[in-house]
Structures are given as C-alpha cells and as structure tokens.
C-alpha cells in the first residue's frame, strides 16, 4: 500500500512512548515530543500544554494513550498481563479469550482469518497517529471535544486539512481517519450504555470511494476494529495512572470486546464486506439494539457504570445483580408494552452527558438507602427517567421505517449547575412526578447523524 512517509515517521517516533515500572508504579517512559514538521504541529503543541476541566494534563493523557496502543500492538502482548483481573475467574478467562480472538482476527496473526491481512503495518501506524490526534478538540473544550476536534482539523482551515490528509495516499484512507476520530467516543459510550449500535451507522458510507482498489482496511469492520483498540487504550490510559486502579479491568474490557464481537458476527457473514450496504447495516443495528436482551444490557451498563464510578470498582456478581433487577423492573414497569419500549429506545441512539446526572443519582441513592436498597432505587429511578423521555419524544421515531430518524438526547443541563442535579435527585425521592417533569424541562433533543 502506497503511503506518505510522514505517517511512517510519526509512527516511528510514537512507538518509543511506552509504559515502564518505577518502584511498583506504572509510569510513562517519556512524553510525546511534537516535531514542527508534523501536520498542524502548533495545535498539537497547544494540546500537549492543555489542562482539562478536571485539572488533568491532556498531553500526559495523550502520551499514555499512545503508550497503551503500543502495548496492545506488541508481539508480546498477553491479555492476562494487560487487563486488571476481577474476582471471577470465569469472567476473566472469557475476556482473555475474546481479546486473543479479536487480536488474531484484526491483525492476522496465527491461523485466524485476517481483516487487515498484509495491511497490518499500515493499520498499526494509523492507530498510533489516530491516538496522537484523537483529543485535539480539548484545546477548545472538554464537552463535544471529539466533534470539535475533527471540525478544527478538517473544516476551519484548508491548509490544515490538506496537511493532515497528506498523511494518506488515497481518499479511502482519509475517510477512514476522519471516521475513526469522529466516532471514537461513540464506541466508548456503548460501554456505558449512553449509546446504542445504530449510533455507528454513519461509519458506513452511502457511496464508497471509487478512486482506489477496494482495501480490507476501508471496510466498516476494520474501522470498528480500530475503534475497539483505540478505546481500550484510551480507558487504560485514564486508569493506569491511578495507583488503586492501575488500568482497564476485565469487566470493562469485556464490554468493548463483546460489542466488537457482535459487529464481527454481522460483517463476517456478508459476502462482500468491503462494499457493505448502509441500509442493511442500519436495519441490522436497529433490530439488534431493539431486542429485550440488548435493552436490558444497555440500561444495566448505565447503572453499572455509575456504581463503578461511586464505589470505585464493580464485580461481575454485582453487575449480574443489577441486570436481574433491571429485567424485573422493566417488565413490571412496561408489562406487555415492553417490546414497544425496546423498539423506541433503540432509536434514541445517544444519551449525551447523561452519566454526569446518573452519577449524582447513584451517589444520592447509596447515601440515603442501605447498599442493596440503594442499587434497587437506582435501577427503579433510571427506568422511570428513561420511560418518561420515551413517552415524551417516542412519537418522533415512529414513522416509515426507511425515513425514521435516530434521536439524540442532551442531558447536560441536568447538572448545570450541579445544584440542579442535587435538587432533582431529592425530588425523585419525595415527588417523582415533579422530578420527571423537571427533567423533561431541561433536556434537549436533536436528530442524530454524522
């Protein structure tokens, strides 16, 4: 595959950023040093100096993501050494097996079928460079930094766009780069329940590039595979610097890997995966997301993510307990209308900045109720809030199947200011109808799409 040598040069420099042990702690071998010849180097240098809203160094985090990518790409990668184990051996082993399977299928090792095949080296270079640029939007803001980062690089200055796109030798590679950067947070929020599979439909082009020969690297499955490893590296980078956590756990990694496995199952059944039909993928994603199983799993992930944030960790047993409570609550709440709720909820494919409020709700539930009852209250309240949102706006997604929109819900105002979220939590305890009314007053709705 013809490539601009700049991509290779940048990747070579980034490959030297690694994790190492220092008195039992995991530390970076070095920070990324931005070269003036790299595309939009001034913006990259500004990114490396940026401190985010949580007082964290974006430069240090970016270096940590690159180090995690290098660890995942290493020929000596061993899942049992990379992922932090839980207290459930069966769950851990399942995650390790999924990780081995995904690596073999993505990178073409051993005798497993290959997505990238002979394009493995290019895919590795691509992933390192994507990790370098993935958070450049944080020079503007934390919120919406993913989409803003792409717009900053691609849509503000023609020279900037040309400089970035010159890294790649054809339109297909360039499209893949923008796709991966634009969607890296979407794949991440599948893990937390904030997004559903239809949120990734826009990764499949209406009209595939015709200026180059079809490449395995341009397939939707290849791009979703890049999202998998970029997100695992991103989460690991955030957690590895916390001594009490040390990295991404098998519980969290298992969610990313199981989602990827579902996409792999769909795309590997197609005879022509390089020319995936967008409508076929959309139909599959909507059908899959609308099943009762996936609905229960998605809302369980919201509550489980909040539990982990508040408590510090979550065991497979606690997550299973939440899933059981969730199924019982949803059946009791919706009865014979549950499948209709699933159909509509799947089309609410992004719940933007909802976890900030749900974190607060979980914290309130645990402080005001005993441990198990606190979880039960959180499950109940979450289901009620989502039901009210669907009741209020569900009619928007009940149109002709080919023209039905996907919906995004913005919950950021529930925590602006934080006292708003606290008051709504208290109201959920004392006046649920009033609390749900208040929530609807604060949310925003938009038509979801690239």
pLDDT digits (tens, 9 = 90+) for 156-187: 989 999 999 999 988 888 999 999 999 999 99
**Cα torsion through 126, 129, 130, 133, rounded to 10:** -160
Q: How far, CA to CA in Å, does 441 sit from each of 362, 366, 389?
A: 21, 26, 11
Q: What is the pLDDT of residue 111?
A: 39
The mean pLDDT value of the chain amounts to 90
HSE-CB for 120 with a 13 A CA cutoff: 14
Q: Of the candidates 129, 69, 130, 61, which has an alpha carbon nearest to the alpha carbon of residue 103? A: 69
Q: What is the pLDDT of residue 1?
A: 40
- Give me the mean pLDDT over the 325-354 stretch: 96
Q: What is the pLDDT of residue 425?
A: 97
Q: Is residue 319 a contact partner of residue 303, using CB atoms and an 8 Å limit?
A: no
Q: Report pTM.
A: 0.92
Q: What is the pLDDT of residue 221?
A: 86
- Whether the predicted pLDDT of 364 surpasses 70: yes
- Give me the mean pLDDT over the 82-96 stretch: 92
Structural domain boundaries of the chain? 5-286, 292-447
- Give me the mean pLDDT over the 318-344 stretch: 96
More confident residue, 242 or 64: 64
Q: What are residue 270's phi and psi, to 5 degrees? A: -80, 145
pLDDT category at 245 given cuts 50, 70, 90 is confident
Q: What is the pLDDT of residue 121?
A: 86
- Whether the predicted pLDDT of 2 surpasses 60: no
- Whether the predicted pLDDT of 272 surpasses 50: no
- Whether the predicted pLDDT of 332 surpasses 80: yes
- Whether the predicted pLDDT of 3 surpasses 90: no
pLDDT category at 150 given cuts 50, 70, 90 is very high
Task: Please list, in sequence order, all residues whose beta carbon lies within 8 angstroms of the beta carbon of residue 178, skipping any fewer than 6 positions away.
Answer: 150, 154
pLDDT category at 112 given cuts 50, 70, 90 is very low
Report the percent of the chain where pLDDT is more than 70.
91
Q: What is the pLDDT of residue 369?
A: 95
Neighbours of 279 (CB within 10 A): 12
pLDDT category at 4 given cuts 50, 70, 90 is low
What's the maximum distance between 2 C-alpha atoms anywhere in the chain?
65
Q: What is the pLDDT of residue 31?
A: 96
pLDDT category at 271 given cuts 50, 70, 90 is very low
Query: CA 123, 170, 10, 227 torsion: positive or negative?
Result: negative
Q: What is the pLDDT of residue 209?
A: 62
Report the percent of the chain where pLDDT is more than 90.
70
How far is residue 187's CA from residue 4's CA, in Å, rounded to a whole number? Answer: 28
How far is residue 131's CA from residue 234's CA, in Å, rounded to a whole number? Answer: 8
How far is residue 66's CA from residue 135's CA, in Å, rounded to a whole number? Answer: 12
Q: Of the candidates 332, 359, 366, which has an alpha carbon nearest to the alpha carbon of residue 414? A: 359
- Reported as a single tens digit per residue, the pLDDT across 207-233 is 766 655 556 677 888 889 999 999 999
- Reported as a single tens digit per residue, the pLDDT across 19-70 is 987 776 788 999 999 999 999 999 999 999 999 988 999 999 999 999 999 9
């Amino acid at each position: 595959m013809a490539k601009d040598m700049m991509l290779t040069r940048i990747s070579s420099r980034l490959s030297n950023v690694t994790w190492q042990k220092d008195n039992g702690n995991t530390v970076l071998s070095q920070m990324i040093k931005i070269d003036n010849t790299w595309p939009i180097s001034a913006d990259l240098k500004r990114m490396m100096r940026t401190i985010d809203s949580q007082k964290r160094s974006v430069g240090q985090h970016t270096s940590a993501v690159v180090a995690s990518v290098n660890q995942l790409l290493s020929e000596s990668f061993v899942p049992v050494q990379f992922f932090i184990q839980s207290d459930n051996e069966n769950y851990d082993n399942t995650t390790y097996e999924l990780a081995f399977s995904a690596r073999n299928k993505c990178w073409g090792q051993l005798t497993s079928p290959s997505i990238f095949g002979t394009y493995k080296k290019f895919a590795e270079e691509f992933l390192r460079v994507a990790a370098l640029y993935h958070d450049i939007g944080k020079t503007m803001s934390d919120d919406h930094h993913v989409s803003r980062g792409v717009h900053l690089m691609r849509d503000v200055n023609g020279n900037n766009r040309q400089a970035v796109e010159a890294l790649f030798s054809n339109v297909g590679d360039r499209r893949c780069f923008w796709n991966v950067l634009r969607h890296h947070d979407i794949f991440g929020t599948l893990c937390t329940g904030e997004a559903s599979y239809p949120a990734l439909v826009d990764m499949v082009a209406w009209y595939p590039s015709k200026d180059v020969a079809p490449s395995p690297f341009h397939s939707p499955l290849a791009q979703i595979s890049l999202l998998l490893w970029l997100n695992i590296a991103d989460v690991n980078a955030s957690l590895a610097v916390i001594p009490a956590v040390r990295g991404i756990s098998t519980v969290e990694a298992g969610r990313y890997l199981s989602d990827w496995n579902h996409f792999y199952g769909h795309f590997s059944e197609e005879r022509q995966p390089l020319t995936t039909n967008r409508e076929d993928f959309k139909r599959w994603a909507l059908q899959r997301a609308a099943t009762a199983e996936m609905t229960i799993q998605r809302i369980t992930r919201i509550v489980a993510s909040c539990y982990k944030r508040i408590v510090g960790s979550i065991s497979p047993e606690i997550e299973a307990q939440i899933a059981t409570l969730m199924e019982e609550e949803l059946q009791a709440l919706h009865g014979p209308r549950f499948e209709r709720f699933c159909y509509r909820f799947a089309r609410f494919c992004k719940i933007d900045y909802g976890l900030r409020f749900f974190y607060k709700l979980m914290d309130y539930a645990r402080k005001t109720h005993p441990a198990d009852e606190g979880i039960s209250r959180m499950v109940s309240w979450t289901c009620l809030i989502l039901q009210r949102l669907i009741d209020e706006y569900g009619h928007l997604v009940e149109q002709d199947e080919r023209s039905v929109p996907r919906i995004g819900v913005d919950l950021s105002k529930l925590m602006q200011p934080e006292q708003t979220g606290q008051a709504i939590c208290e109201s959920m305890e004392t006046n649920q109808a009033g609390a749900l009314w208040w929530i609807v007053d604060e949310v925003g709705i938009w038509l979801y799409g690239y």
